[in-house]
């Protein structure tokens, strides 16, 4: 049978508060309190360090703002617009390759045209300045003259005499 409180008997009430823990000042994890000493504000050393870094950075920033080292105006962007136009130019049609075929003259007249051209190139063209080629040309032409002399009836003397008579 429960005992009814007696209204005329004064009751002393004592309320005890005991800290059981608090949340970490950085990560908000529960940090239980052992009951001895000052209760810890952080769960770990790394949380304490991070909180300190943020506090000191904030203090530094406030100091820099106060001294004018840090500008607090709005951040502006300066934008340059560059328009690149790429024009596609059609490639010129490939030129047909000009084949330089060496046609060896087969007649006396064709040889004359060729030898006249050689003379012209030696007098007016690049070949006249290419002196390192002259010796082999000279030997080739001597061979031509010797072959003419061998071929001509009576030999080179008759050929020379008739040729100079004809040109007179
Ligand atoms: Zn923590």
Using one digit for the tens of pLDDT, what is the confidence trace for 31-88?
Answer: 999 888 998 999 999 999 999 999 999 999 999 988 988 888 888 888 888 888 888 8
Asked whether residue 6 is domain-assigned, the answer is no
Asked whether residue 12 is domain-assigned, the answer is no
Picking from 67, 89, 124, the residue at the C-terminal end of a domain is 67
**CB contact at 8 A, 53 and 69:** no
Type and span of the H or E element at 23: strand 21-23
- Number of structural domains in the chain: 2
The most confident of the ranges 11-15, 29-33, 67-71, 163-167 is 29-33
Picking from 67, 96, 129, the residue at the C-terminal end of a domain is 67
Give the range of the structural domain holding residue 53, as residue numbers without chain letter: 21-67
pTM over 0.75: no
Kindly give the distance from the C-alpha atom of residue 23 to the centroid of ligand 1, in angstroms, as a whole number.
8
Kindly give the distance from the C-alpha atom of residue 30 to the centroid of ligand 1, in angstroms, as a whole number.
8
Asked whether residue 146 is domain-assigned, the answer is yes
Asked whether residue 10 is domain-assigned, the answer is no
Kindly give the distance from the C-alpha atom of residue 60 to the centroid of ligand 1, in angstroms, as a whole number.
23
d(CA 166, CA 88): 67
**CB contact at 8 A, 41 and 48:** yes
Dihedral over Cα of 34, 39, 42, 44: its sign: negative
Asked whether residue 76 is domain-assigned, the answer is no
Q: In the predicted model, what is the mean pLDDT of residues 6-25?
A: 84
Kindly give the distance from the C-alpha atom of residue 77 to the centroid of ligand 1, in angstroms, as a whole number.
39
Asked whether residue 80 is domain-assigned, the answer is no
């Amino acid at each position: 049978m429960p005992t009814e409180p007696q209204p005329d008997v004064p009751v002393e009430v004592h309320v005890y508060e005991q800290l059981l823990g608090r949340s970490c000042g950085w990560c908000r994890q529960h940090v239980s309190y052992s009951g001895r000493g000052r209760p810890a504000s952080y769960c770990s050393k790394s949380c304490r360090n991070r909180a300190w870094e943020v506090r000191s950075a904030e203090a530094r920033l406030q100091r820099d703002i106060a001294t004018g080292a840090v500008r607090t105006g709005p951040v502006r962007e300066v934008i340059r617009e560059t328009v690149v136009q790429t024009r596609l130019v059609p490639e010129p049609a490939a030129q047909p390759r000009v084949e330089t075929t060496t046609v060896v003259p087969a007649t006396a007249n064709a040889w004359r045209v060729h030898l006249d051209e050689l003379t012209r190139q030696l007098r007016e063209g690049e070949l006249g300045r290419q002196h390192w080629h002259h010796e082999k040309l000279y030997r080739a032409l001597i061979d031509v003259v010797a072959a003419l002399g061998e071929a001509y009836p009576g030999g080179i003397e008759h050929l020379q005499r008739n040729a100079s008579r004809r040109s007179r």
